[in-house]
Amino acid sequence: MEFFFELIGYGLISPAVSSAIVVVLLRLLLPAPMRRDLIVVALVAGFFVSWLLFPWAPMRPQSHWHWLPYLGLLAGVVGCLGQFSGLWLRCTIYLVLSVVTAWLLVPMWQDLQPVRHWYLIGLVTVVWVFLLAAEPGLRNGPPPLLAAILVGISIAAAAVLAQSGTMKFAQLAGVLVPVLATCGLATWNWPDEFHFASIVVPFQVLLIGFLFIGYVNSFSDVPGYCYGLVGAAPLGPTACQIPLIEKRLGGWKSLGMVGSAALLAGTDMAASFLAVGVYF
């Protein structure tokens, strides 16, 4: 019963309500031009409130994964800055964010020390490349569609993490579902007041962070590529906006964006279920 209370109360209701309150406050306190890129505050606040409520999530970091909420805050700030930056400056600040993310999330375990630098290089590369590659696809498009895609990817990530035996991380990934839904509704109802693109950076950092810490803390039979496929799912919408592919899709572009992300995330979910012996 306590688990379901945490799942529903702390993981779904509380973050949704918190994000909604932030949206209301932004509309009441700030003029439309100033709040356009601040919808990211609703996402970060919703996740942070859930972190505060979960009894097993400490405020003072004592382990590598305890840095997740603070990385979400940092990524939210970077996401706002990125909206006002040129390409080269955006590449630079995303690289700095990627380095900080990798340094904090890669464990300092003694048995990992001989290869820790490879983990650092790999995670920096993945975060940086995925931020730059996924952003174009998730900046352009109807906010409800983009929110639906990110909600689906979050559900897939939570499912993979649950199958890997890391239920805490699955719960944290699940928190993104109500938060993204709330932000999507806000950008749909007030498209001239909120810009969905600022959400992309913290979403990507948190998604990759969940999957990475789930991977390094899991002793399950879920193969490593399952974590990678769902992490790559946001690249699907970007692929659909490559001029040649976009031209071929024509009026089916929106369906292609959803389908490409669903294919990666769905394949990933199915593989993780089969790996642990769950058959359909």
Residue found under tokens 């993204």:
180
3-state secondary structure of 62: coil
The predicted pLDDT at position 160 comes to 86
92 contacts 84 by C-beta, under 8 angstroms = no
The predicted pLDDT at position 46 comes to 92
The predicted pLDDT at position 277 comes to 54
What amino acid is encoded at 4 in this protein?
F
12 contacts 47 by C-beta, under 8 angstroms = no
Listed in sequence order, the residues at least 6 apart from 111 whose beta carbon sits closer than 8 Å to its beta carbon are none
pTM tops 0.75, yes or no? yes
Contacts of 12-17 with CB under 8 Å at 24 or more apart are 12/174, 12/175, 12/177, 12/178, 13/178, 14/46, 14/49, 14/50, 14/53, 15/46, 15/47, 15/49, 15/50, 15/175, 15/178, 15/179, 15/182, 16/46, 16/178, 16/179, 16/181, 16/182
The predicted pLDDT at position 86 comes to 77
Q: What is the pLDDT along the chain (280 residues), one digit of tens a residue?
A: 566 767 788 888 999 999 999 999 988 888 877 777 788 899 999 999 999 999 888 889 999 999 999 999 999 989 888 777 777 888 899 999 999 999 999 999 888 888 999 999 999 999 999 888 887 777 767 777 888 888 888 988 888 898 887 788 889 999 999 999 998 888 888 887 887 778 889 999 999 999 999 988 877 777 777 787 778 788 777 777 777 777 777 777 767 777 777 776 666 666 666 665 554 4
